Chains A and B, each alone.
Chain A
Amino acid sequence: MGQALDVHRLHFAFTVTFHYIFPQLTMGLALLLVYLKTQALVTGDEHYNRAARFWGRIFGINFALGVVTGIPMEFQFGTNWAAFSRAAGGVIGQTLAMEGVFSFFLESSFLGLFLFGEKRLGRLGHWCSAFLVFLGSWLSGYFIVATDAWMQHPSGYRLGSGGEVALSSFWGLLLNKWALWQYAHTMLGAVQTGCFVMAGVGAFYLLTERHENYGRTFVRTGVLVGIIAAPLQLFPTGDMQGKMIAYHQGPTLAAMEGLFQSQQGAPLAILGQPDVEKRRLDNPLEVPNMLSFLTYREWRADVKGLAEFPQTDWPDQIPLLYYSYHLMVGLGTMFIAVMAVAVIWLWRGKLYGSRWMLWIVMICIPLPFIANTAGWMTAELGRQPWLIYGLMRTAEGVSPRVAAGNAWFTLIGFMGLYAVLAILWLFLIYREIERGPEPGGNGYGDVAAAAD
């Protein structure tokens, strides 16, 4: 069983990590598209419509990949985690089904109209279609986060006689306080991905001296939205997330921070390598008392170390969890700094001419993807060894009859397929960037465009 369990975990981790590359950009860009369309509506300037069309094309490619890699996620609850599904399907099936009914139908219906129906819909109608795509993608994010939040911090349920978990409060499930904070934190992460991609492409145009008019719009939009999102990511959403973990997932907080022994006035580890066997942090670079203060707002507060908890309740991948968390926080802090400098330069009117700052903005493009991935790894590795925190252990949730060999077979299949998709994604998006936002490029018709 041990071996099959590991393969099933890897299977889900691989497919969901790859999948989340796409929705974070989709959700981030959806907001920025509404912003651009609003600018177009308010100013009446065709420039913003062209900008929105350019990002709409990139959005379309990205959305398609999000859809095709998303369907396997829903299926895998049943195929690879059957015992979990049998026990908890009555609860988390609700949010997953609501995602289909309330968001996917909305998104898929209005994306087609947004991408190909601009002439027919008129200015206001087209703005509405952009807004509804945004609404659909952000709703979808909520239902997924609510599902995950229920696994992190179950609420609104009761235990049945046969070990199954039944829903007992619909609003308890949907308005789980864990879900609200996690949603805010997740969406800000997605917005930052959108901002860095948009600003980064703008910087690329300015640095290569092409489409400079659009380049300035993209940089400005990305930086102005980014300077709002980046600090909010840290405070209050990240801070609240940390507090909830401190109160409800004690061993997780200790493992994230690499804190093996309980301490009054616990330090915050900036760098260092956790050595789980010897139960200590090697080469630590620490800020004294900081962890106590951040968690409890008291410099000398007592923070529980891993030693306080039975080892069976420790997350099973402590070093990976520790690094994911530190990577996320480190990158998040850096994003605040980059956005702050960029916005000051913008305000002083020297951002567009500052090559080194544009270089930094451009080079940042992949980093929010890494930060978001690390954030999800922190949440999910931190939840271990539980599948539903406090209720069901991960080892109990796996499909009893699917052997390791079959899981390897499909995992390898997904790896091959996703490698091809990744190359296609980069290739097609780079091509759109090369073509640029100016009208009259080497336009070659799109499938659905022909239908109009």
Chain B
Amino acid sequence: METVWFCLVAFMIVVYVLLDGFDLGAGAIHLLAAKTEEERRQILASIGPVWDGNEVWLVAAGGTLYFAFPALYASGFSGFYLPLMIILWLLILRGSSIEFRNHIKSAIWDPFWDFLFCASSLLLAIFFGAALGNVVRGVPLDPSGYFFEPLWTNFRLGEETGILDWYSTLVGVLTLLALVMHGGLWVQMKTSGPVSSRAGKLAAQSWWGVLALTATVTALTFRVQPQVPANFSASPWGWLFPLLAVAGLAGVLIEWRKRNEARAFLASCAYLTGMLASVVFGLYPLVLPARNPLYSLTVNNAKAGRYGLKIALVWWVLGMILVSGYFTLVYRSFAGKVALDKDSHDDRD
């Protein structure tokens, strides 16, 4: 049962990264890809109706993690206290900038929110990546099952690690580049004109960085976290996941060159899925490795009671059927490239 929930939480996190990933990426390239007021409105329109729903995956995944693995939620959230609070502030600033930007047209109002939207998206990508890096590397859990990490210590992988060390920073940069690629491909697909081609170019440029860092970070991960090589040699079928990531990454470039915008974006989804699935596969059964392996949290010592996990499966499946219905409806009504049409603004009749 705990393995089922481990997979379901992982599934929700992957969906979150795929969906909110493209709108974070769109935010990160906002100032670079869009120069004029109209272009900026195009980028915002390409995520406007969906970004809020995408972010709900974070809340829902968080809630699911909470009841399925309460000990992990408690240790992880209190240990990552500072970066999580910073993530919250960034989410607040980002949400406000998307919602408030278009309320007033003024030479100081919208440039301010544009900057805030871009900066908060960029920092969020880095912090989410660094958080993932911390989970993979392991944290200084104490015998009572808690830890507290400062933002940084000496940037080394010793006993007393900080949130940012060379490894987690590298994962943060990789995440930023990967989401720039992902978001760039999304914006290219959803917009038209100069902003679309600029976004596509940014995606292709970041592709090389993604390639280089993927190779580096993967090699380092096998050394930083011993569970990963152990899992891959114990069950070689797990190599399917890294393979998916490689195929996805190759697909991005091939389809981009063929100017097949939708397929390039899907390939990027495959890359992100493959990468995250590799991490999940590599860590199982650990959910939060400790620097001292004795204190690691696993699916077994972090799980909730059996009854709760069983009953939750019923409502969770029901809920997901409903959610896939809503998302189909929303994304279908939002299909195709966005058009900036003054008449479409129906709130003024």
Contact = CB atoms under 8 A, between A and B. Distances in A.
A349 interface: no
Interface of chain A, main secondary structure: helix
A118 B346 contact: yes
Contact of B91 (A50, A61, A71): A71
A334 B322 CA distance: 43
Given A67-B95, A101-B323, A104-B60, A80 B346 contact: no
A60 B44 CA distance: 16
B45 interface: yes
Interface residues of A, number: 87
B342 A445 contact: yes
Contacts of B67: 89-94, 96-97
Interface in B62-92: 62-68, 70-71, 73-82, 84-85, 88-89, 91-92
Interface in B2-45: 41-42, 44-45
A441 interface: yes
A309 interface: no
A119 B349 CA distance: 10
Given A402-B148, A448-B48, A451-B48, A64 B60 contact: no
A64 B308 contact: no
Contact of A116 (B58, B81, B99, B346): B346
A77 B66 contact: yes
B89 A413 contact: yes
A78 B78 contact: yes
A75 B201 CA distance: 37
Contacts of A116: 49, 346-347
Contact of B63 (A93, A170, A443, A447): A93
Interface centre among B70, B142, B307 (most CB of A within 10 A): B70
A447 B44 contact: yes
A159 to B, nearest CB: 11
A69 interface: yes
Interface residues on B, range: 35 or more
Contacts, number: 284
A77 B84 CA distance: 12
A47 interface: no
Contacts of B64: 93, 97, 100-101
Interface stretch (A106-114, A200-208, A316-324, A386-394): A106-114
A444 B60 contact: no
B212 interface: no
Interface string B295-324: 000000000110110011001100110110
A115 interface: yes
Interface stretch (A27-35, A161-169, A183-191, A369-377): A161-169
B329 A109 contact: yes
Interface in A390-438: 399-403, 406, 409-410, 413-414, 417, 421, 424, 428, 431
Given A64-B96, A71-B91, A170 B329 contact: no
A109 B308 CA distance: 28
Contacts of A98: 63, 315, 319
Contacts of B344: 449-452
A400 B85 contact: no
A367 B182 CA distance: 48
A82 B78 contact: yes
Interface in B221-268: none
Interface stretch (B100-108, B122-130, B153-161, B164-172): B100-108
A267 to B, nearest CB: 45
Nearest to B60: A100
A409 B78 CA distance: 15
B88 A75 contact: yes
B327 interface: yes
Given A71-B59, A98-B319, A406 B326 contact: no
Contacts of B82: 406, 409-410
A86 B78 CA distance: 11
B77 A78 contact: yes
A296 interface: no
Interface of A: 50, 53, 56-57, 60-61, 64-65, 67-69, 71-72, 74-75, 77-80, 82-83, 85-94, 96-102, 104-106, 108-113, 115-120, 160, 164, 166-168, 170, 399-403, 406, 409-410, 413-414, 417, 421, 424, 428, 431, 439-441, 443-452
Given A85-B66, A112-B50, A446-B345, 13 more contacts: A53-B347, A78-B66, A78-B76, A85-B73, A91-B67, A93-B66, A104-B60, A112-B53, A399-B81, A409-B82, A417-B89, A449-B344, A451-B48
